[in-house]
Amino acid sequence: MVDIEKTEKAIRDLLVAIGEDPDRPGLAETPKRCAKMYAELLAGMDSDAQEHLSKQFDVPHSEFLLEKDIPFYSLCEHHLLPFFGKAHIAYLPNDRVVGLSKLARTVEARRLQLQEQMTTQIADDIMRHLDARGVMVVIEAEHLCMTMRGVKKPGAKTITTCVRGAFEEQAELRATVLSLIRQ
């Protein structure tokens, strides 16, 4: 949970450290606005995927399900800059499925993290909480730390994958999911 008062003070101190006057008209409310923004952007720090994935339905379905193009926004823990993109999740149910909106909620990424960490965490949560026979998570994102600073390459995308269970063992299954994602 973000401490609003401490965050406001830290933003004010940052403005002073970079040579700004935090009391000038354009910046007077900035510490408060930034504190509220961080509270919103980091609201998922204490969330647990189990709260989303616990509502399941008995469905004897043996083929994989794919939910693709799930938009997300997160903050890179290295530079505190946003990264954003799309997540794609395929899983093989074990006679139980979860509501599709629950997969999208599992992707919500309101915390400081790395894309690689996020990809693995989603896959592991689905395996653990759904007792899935397999899962494949593909995340494609643009990182503002590469767009705005450093190498300055806008539009460059980072793609991470994580496969578990049957998707790890069956190359044809992975290829099918990747071809559906590209459609």
Catalytic residue set = 76-79, 115, 143, 145
Q: What's the N-to-C CA distance of the chain in angstroms?
A: 39
CA distances 143 to 31, 85, 105, Å, are: 24, 9, 21
**CB contact at 8 A, 167 and 128:** no
Q: Which long-range contacts (CB under 8 A, 24 or more apart) does 12-15 make?
A: none
Tell me the Cα Rg of the chain: 20
In this structure, are strands 56-58 and 96-98 parallel, antiparallel, or unpaired?
Answer: antiparallel
**CB contact at 8 A, 4 and 37:** no
- Report the phi/psi class of residue 19: left, alpha or beta, with left for phi > 0 and alpha for psi in -120 to 50: left
Nearest to 30 by CA among 51, 9, 54: 9
